[in-house]
Amino acid sequence: MVLGLCPALAVSTSLDNAIGMGTAVIFVLVFSNTTISLIRKKISDKIRIPTFIVIIASFVTMASLIMQAFFPTLNKALGIYVPLIVVNCIILGRAEAFASKNNVTESILDGLGIGVGFTLALLLISFFRELLGTGSLKLFGVSIINIKINPAMIFILAPGALLIMGLLLAFFRAYSQISKKNQDKKIEEKTTGS
């Protein structure tokens, strides 16, 4: 469930950072999946993974250069974590598991779906980290929410990401188990009531 979420430790301290990293990941996923899907039948099995890494690294470099040119503040905030997208397990995993075996349209949709899911996960983590760690939420410099609590600085440090991820995973697991029990109960009621 947390495959590729290691940037959450560093970049999910604010909503702005999460949106920036998520957008970069979506860009890289969509374009690398598209390229890999287009050339998948021409790639030898012996050089498949190195080829994927070169393609991914090319799109990561493009994303990094675009950020440097048009969003220097965001680029500085994300720092080394944008170039590290190259080794993100999600990117290479999708290239290997999906784009190398499917057509272009499906690969584009897969990249878009996985990228949006990754971005939503980062946004969720960032929401709680920024709110609990600073007492406010800002989006592109505009204050959205200010709460009157004493901020807990641990939430904007790396352990805060682990705490939030753990709490969110526990919440979703409990929710899933409750939903399954309710579904099982409805099925049981239908079978005994018939």
pLDDT digits (tens, 9 = 90+) for 62-78: 999 999 999 999 999 88
Q: What is the pLDDT of residue 68?
A: 95
Residues of the chain above pLDDT 70, percent: 95
The string of pLDDT tens digits covering residues 26-44 is 999 999 999 999 999 998 8
The string of pLDDT tens digits covering residues 96-128 is 889 999 999 999 999 999 999 989 988 999 999
Q: Which amino acid is at 133?
A: G
Q: Which amino acid is at 183?
A: Q
Confidence of residue 165 (pLDDT cuts 50, 70, 90): confident
CB atoms within 10 A of CB 15: 20
* Whether the predicted model's global pTM rises above the 0.85 cut: no
Q: Give the Cα separation of 165 and 120 in Å (integer).
A: 13
Confidence of residue 193 (pLDDT cuts 50, 70, 90): low
Q: Alpha helix (H) ranges present in 40-157? A: 48-70, 72-78, 89-94, 104-134
CB 22 within 8 A of CB 63: no
Q: Which amino acid is at 24?
A: A
Res. 87: pLDDT tops 80: no
Res. 4: pLDDT tops 80: no
